[in-house]
Structure 1
Amino acid sequence: MHVDVMTTPQPLQSTGELARRTQEVGFSGLLFTETGRTAYLSAAVAAHAAPGLELSTGVAVAFPRSPFVTAASAWELQEATGGKFRLGLGTQVRTHVVRRYGADFEHPGPRLRDYVLAVKACFAAFRTGKLDHHGQFYNLDFITPQWSAGPIDAPDPKVDVAAVNPWMLRMAGEVADGVHVHPLGEPGYIARHVIPKIAEGAQNSGRSPDDIAVIVPVMTIVGDTDEERHRERELVRASMSFYGSTPNYSFIWDEAGFEGTTARIRERQKAGDVKGMAAQITDEHIAAFATESTWDGLADALTAKYGGTATRVVLYNALADPERFERYGDVAQRLQR
């Protein structure tokens, strides 16, 4: 099991030091989300600062960038890392894509499927000089040596997608190389939906499910005292209320036995009551959706929850307290043995 650290992109001046430290304390890799800063530039800085560290976007927003532009960025990062870059893509939500990025969003699932295939067609074109992709949303058939990145001495980058609902998980199994599970992806959801739908999609395209990585972000509550764990528990409670406010994710709560959680969170959200949102996440929610442990027991607790399903575990909140980062690194090394 590989263990990565999740981070939002920081100022580029500090990204190199973060990458070096991540490598030094023993993590497999660094995963960059994309919010107000781009994931690709951060990955580029990290690639030069910490050679050998595995890097990934988790996830970069797909639709505002053309597939060719995305493919070219991923290609350069794959070259810079010596084959240790994974391209993680997601749809984001309509409001962000249309009103912030000014891009098209209609039919996001099929559009992302076509996007992934277009990106892979660009990878092939960089090697062969021939670009030939004709899909429902993207048509690419022109490339010249001047506008091609050219071959690299590394395999094509793996292309992963963020997926939550059964259709998207099945699509990932058909055309992607990995799935970014949602941060609310507790083990029951992974067993009910993620694994079987990936397998179904893989079968549809004549692939082995073992070839599709399952990338799972995990929220941890770890400490050797009640005070330590209480502080982290409240941070996790707030994070869960944020993710749990999205209607498309409500079925995950419901199937885990917490019916109506999203509706209650959204009621407080509409009232502008952030503390009230967090209050809807009970300790029972946290026990099911997070991993709580002492430091000595964390590796075993994560193995028990995700050892049979996750290819990569991504520690969601390992960077919340810089003084504890090395201890998380020790846990990562135990999981990677």
Structure 2
Amino acid sequence: MFVDAMTTPQPLAQIGEVARRTQEAGFSGLLFTETGRTAYLNVAVASQAAPGLALSTGVAVAFPRSPFVTAATAWELQESAGGNFRLGLGTQVRTHVVRRYGVEFERPGPRLRDYVLAVKACFTAFRTGTLDHHGEFYELDFITPQWSPGPIDAPDPKVDVAAVNPWMLRMAGEVADGVHVHPLGEPGYIWRHVVPNIAIGAEKSGRSPDDVAVIVPVLTIVGDTDEERARERELVRASMSFYGSTPNYAFIWDEAGFEGTTARIREKQKAGDYKGMAEQITDEHIAKFATESTWDGLADTLIEKYGGLATRIVLYNSLADPERIERYGAVAQRIAGS
């Protein structure tokens, strides 16, 4: 089980140092979310600053970029990273895609399936000179040497997708190389939904479920004193209220025994009451969906929870405090070596 650190994209002048510290601390890789800054540019800088560090987007927004543009970007990043780049893609939600990016969002699941296949067809075209993808949403059949990056001395980038509901998980098992599990993806949810649905999709495409990486972000509360853990607990509470506000994810709370959580969070959200949003997350929620431990016990706790389930775990807040990077890195090394 590999252990990556998660970060939001930083100013380009800063990200090289972040990548070097992450690598020196002993993490397997560095995963970039996509918010106000683009993940791709940060990956490019990190690939030069920390050769050999696994780098991934987790996740980049798909639909505002054409499949060809995304494929060409991923191709160059894979070359720059020496074969250590994974392309993580997601749909985002309708409001962002339509009102912020100004593109279509109809039938996002099938559209993302076609998008992944189109990206992979572009990878083939970069090696062969022939582009031949005819899908429901994307028709790509023209490429010339001038507009192709050409072959690279590295395998095609792995393409992972963010998936929550059963249909998306089956789709990922069928056409993608990995699944980014939602930050609320506690082990019970992974056993009930992620594992069996990936297996169904993989069988449809005639491959093993083991060919599909399961990438799990983990919210941690770590400290050797009650005071340390209390501070972290409140940060996790706020994060969980944010992630738990999306209606499509309500079933995750409900199945874990916390029915109506999303509705209560959204009521506070609509009123602009962010403190009230966090207050909907009880200590019982946190015990179920986060991992709390002392430093000495963290590696064993994570192995017990996610061993046999996750291919990679991503420590969600491991880079938030520069003074703790080395401690998290030691945990990452212990898990990866187990």
Q: Which residue of 2 aligns with 1:16?
A: 16
**1:89-108 aligned within 5 A:** 89-108=89-108
Q: Which residue of 2 aligns with 1:227?
A: 227
Q: CA deviation at 1:178?
A: 0.0
1:30-88 per-residue CA deviation (whole Å, 9 max, x = no partner) reads 00000100000000000000000000000000000000000000000100111000000
**1:125-136 aligned within 5 A:** 125-136=125-136
Over the residues paired in the alignment, what is the CA RMSD in angstroms?
0.5
Read off the aligned partner of 1:158 and give its amino acid letter.
K
Q: CA deviation at 1:13?
A: 0.4
Q: Which residue of 1 aligns with 2:250?
A: 250
Q: Which residue of 1 aligns with 2:328?
A: 328
Read off the aligned partner of 1:122 and give its amino acid letter.
C
Q: CA deviation at 1:236?
A: 0.1
1:98-146 per-residue CA deviation (whole Å, 9 max, x = no partner) reads 1111111111000000000000000000000000000000000000001
- 1:193 matched to 2:190: no
Read off the aligned partner of 2:123 and give its amino acid letter.
F
Q: Distance in 1 between matches of 2:75 and 2:297?
A: 39
Q: Which residue of 1 aligns with 2:27?
A: 27
Q: Distance in 2 between matches of 1:250 and 1:84?
A: 35
State the identity %: 85
Q: Distance in 1 between matches of 2:288 and 2:308?
A: 17
Q: CA deviation at 1:322?
A: 1.2
Read off the aligned partner of 1:250 and give its amino acid letter.
A
Q: Which runs of 5+ in 2 are unaligned?
A: none
Read off the aligned partner of 1:97 and give its amino acid letter.
V
- 1:169 matched to 2:166: no
Q: CA deviation at 1:269?
A: 1.1
Q: Which residue of 2 aligns with 1:116?
A: 116
Q: Which residue of 1 aligns with 2:137?
A: 137
- 1:304 matched to 2:285: no
Read off the aligned partner of 1:298 and give its amino acid letter.
L
**1:252-291 aligned within 5 A:** 252-291=252-291
1:148-180 per-residue CA deviation (whole Å, 9 max, x = no partner) reads 010011100000000000000000000000000
Q: CA deviation at 1:270?
A: 1.4
Report SS of the residue matched to 1:297. Answer: helix
Q: Distance in 2 between matches of 1:171 and 1:76?
A: 26
Q: Distance in 2 between matches of 1:70 and 1:46?
A: 18
Q: Distance in 2 between matches of 1:238 and 1:230?
A: 13
Read off the aligned partner of 2:7 and give its amino acid letter.
T
Q: Distance in 1 between matches of 2:150 and 2:28?
A: 28
Q: CA deviation at 1:21?
A: 0.4
Read off the aligned partner of 1:203 and give its amino acid letter.
E
Q: Distance in 2 between matches of 1:271 and 1:72?
A: 43
Give aligned pairs, total.
Answer: 337
- 1:68 matched to 2:68: yes
Read off the aligned partner of 2:77 and give its amino acid letter.
L
Q: Distance in 1 between matches of 2:161 and 2:138?
A: 18
Read off the aligned partner of 1:195 and give its amino acid letter.
V
Q: CA deviation at 1:273?
A: 1.1
Q: Which runs of 5+ in 1 are unaligned?
A: none
Read off the aligned partner of 1:229 and give its amino acid letter.
R
Q: Distance in 1 between matches of 2:263 and 2:146?
A: 54
Q: Which residue of 2 aligns with 1:216?
A: 216
Q: Distance in 1 between matches of 2:173 and 2:2?
A: 20
Report SS of the residue matched to 1:296. Answer: helix
Read off the aligned partner of 1:231 and give its amino acid letter.
R
Q: Which residue of 1 aligns with 2:153?
A: 153
Read off the aligned partner of 1:243 and give its amino acid letter.
Y
Report SS of the residue matched to 2:292. Answer: strand
Q: CA deviation at 1:192?
A: 0.2
